């Protein structure tokens, strides 16, 4: 047998060999981003034939329900599996209890019905469960003596979820971070014969400064007036706590779990996926989007490339999918190659 020719020197192992050609790079790639991984968060406004720009999120718009139906149709045609709806609520409809959240004729319910009527089950519709679009104090739950009370909030949130599910929402996504909300929502849905409605729990949701542009987009920033959500959302220093949150949500009936924000918390995504092996999602939030598109608009970053690279980061960290304001642009890019 011919002996291996002695190495003429170092290095024997050349990692770059596999990277030399594009075909070879494709062959050795470990992770893949596909349109099936994308969930598109969209903002809804009242009115007809109307769009509004969101100042802090370049290329992101709020759509009136009629135009939203068209936009969702385009997402569907691109193969995006689901959209997540976020209403901009008229300030005159906000109160301390977030009563508009349980109104069957509220904006988000009208949007769900219109999308389902036009597109049926060809695209999934997710709704956020939290009171912040509806409260005059901008918090996700009920405020009593300066504290967001848990159990009373959970009761209202479950009714909000029921309201959305009755409108035809496919996936209920509680983002409020109250304790026990997943169990209460599951109970209320099941009692109403809505056992087929899925729950994607925002399980590990951090009290983050990266939500700033979103609060502008849904109009909750002035209500919150500089306040924070630290008594219910998580501290950015913690990851063991995230695993406890996820474990609880799974035990309470969550079908899917989420980590949020995304890019600064990819370690949490990885730990969650490794520990639980359940469908795990990450939310590339408004501030992450603003950061990347803002820099790209100034010519400081290549916008297309950082979009794709940031989305791949989620896949590498173990996410099964990503909620991203880039969803439509990324789907187009994946289609066109």
Summarize as ranges the residues that interact with ligand PBG (CB under 6 A).
Answer: 128, 130, 132, 140, 175, 211, 214-215, 229, 285-286
Q: Which two tokens stand for residue 154?
A: 């959970």
79: left (phi over 0), alpha (psi -120 to 50) or beta: left
Phi first, then psi, for residue 281 (nearest 5°) are -125, 160
| CA–CA dist 182, 172 (Å, integer) | 10
Contact call for residues 309 and 41 (beta carbons, < 8 A): no
Shortest Å distance, C-beta 323 to ligand PBG: 8
Q: Which two tokens stand for residue 314?
A: 């989620």
332 catalytic residue (yes or no):
no
Identify the three-state secondary structure at position 259. Answer: strand
| CA–CA dist 123, 142 (Å, integer) | 33
Residue 14 or 163: the one with the smaller Cβ distance to ligand PBG is: 163
Shortest Å distance, C-beta 213 to ligand PBG: 7
Shortest Å distance, C-beta 262 to ligand PBG: 9
Residues pairing with 204 in the sheet: 259
Across 245-255, b (16+ Cβ under 10 Å) vs e yields bbebbbebbbb
| Residue number closest to ligand PBG, CB atom | 214
Residue 280 or 286: the one with the smaller Cβ distance to ligand PBG is: 286
Alpha carbons within 13 angstroms on the beta-carbon side of residue 185 total 38
Shortest Å distance, C-beta 289 to ligand PBG: 7
Q: Which of 144, 142, 210 is nearest to 176 (CA)?
A: 142
Residue 13 or 293: the one with the smaller Cβ distance to ligand PBG is: 293
Element (H, E) at 130: none
Residue 31 or 146: the one with the smaller Cβ distance to ligand PBG is: 146
Residue 118 or 212: the one with the smaller Cβ distance to ligand PBG is: 212
Q: Which two tokens stand for residue 312?
A: 């791949």
Residue 31 or 231: the one with the smaller Cβ distance to ligand PBG is: 231
* Exposed/middle/buried for residue 273 (C-beta within 10 Å: 0-12, 13-18, 19+): buried
- Out of 76, 94, 205, 229, the active site residue is 205
Residue 230 DSSP one-character state: T
Shortest Å distance, C-beta 13 to ligand PBG: 43
Q: Which of 291, 268, 290 is nearest to 280 (CA)?
A: 268
Q: Which of 215, 42, 31 is nearest to 127 (CA)?
A: 42
- Out of 76, 94, 229, 260, the active site residue is 260
Shortest Å distance, C-beta 322 to ligand PBG: 12
260 catalytic residue (yes or no):
yes
The residues annotated as belonging to the active site are: 205, 260
């Amino acid at each position: 047998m011919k002996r291996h020719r002695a190495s003429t020197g170092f290095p024997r192992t050349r990692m770059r060999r596999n990277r030399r050609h594009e075909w070879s790079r494709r062959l050795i790639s470990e992770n893949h981003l596909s349109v099936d991984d994308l969930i598109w968060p969209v903002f809804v406004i009242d009115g007809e034939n109307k769009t509004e720009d969101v100042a802090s999120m370049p290329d992101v718009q709020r759509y009136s329900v009629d135009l939203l139906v068209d936009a969702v149709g385009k997402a569907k045609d691109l193969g995006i599996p689901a959209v997540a709806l976020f209403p901009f609520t008229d300030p005159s409809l906000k109160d301390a209890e977030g009563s508009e959240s349980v109104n069957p004729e509220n904006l988000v319910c009208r949007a769900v019905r219109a999308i389902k009527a036009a597109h049926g089950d060809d695209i999934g519709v997710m709704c956020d469960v939290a009171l912040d679009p509806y409260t005059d104090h901008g918090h996700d739950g009920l405020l009593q003596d300066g504290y967001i009370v848990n159990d009373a909030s959970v009761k209202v949130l479950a009714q909000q979820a029921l309201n959305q599910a009755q409108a035809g929402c496919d996936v209920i996504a509680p983002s409020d971070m109250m304790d026990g909300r997943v169990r209460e929502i599951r109970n209320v849905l099941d009692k109403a014969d809505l056992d087929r409605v899925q729950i994607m729990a925002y399980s590990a949701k951090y009290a983050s400064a990266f939500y700033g542009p979103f609060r502008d987009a849904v109009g909750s920033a002035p209500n919150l007036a500089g306040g924070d959500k630290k008594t219910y959302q998580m501290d950015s220093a913690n990851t063991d706590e995230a695993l406890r949150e996820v474990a609880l949500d799974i035990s309470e009936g969550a079908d899917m779990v989420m980590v949020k924000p995304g890019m600064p918390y990819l370690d949490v995504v990885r730990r969650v996926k490794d520990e639980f092996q359940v469908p795990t999602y990450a939310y590339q939030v408004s501030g992450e989007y603003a950061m990347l598109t803002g820099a790209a608009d100034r010519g400081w970053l290549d916008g297309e490339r950082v979009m794709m690279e940031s989305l791949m980061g989620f896949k590498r960290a173990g996410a099964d999918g990503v909620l991203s304001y880039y969803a439509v642009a990324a789907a187009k890019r994946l289609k066109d190659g």
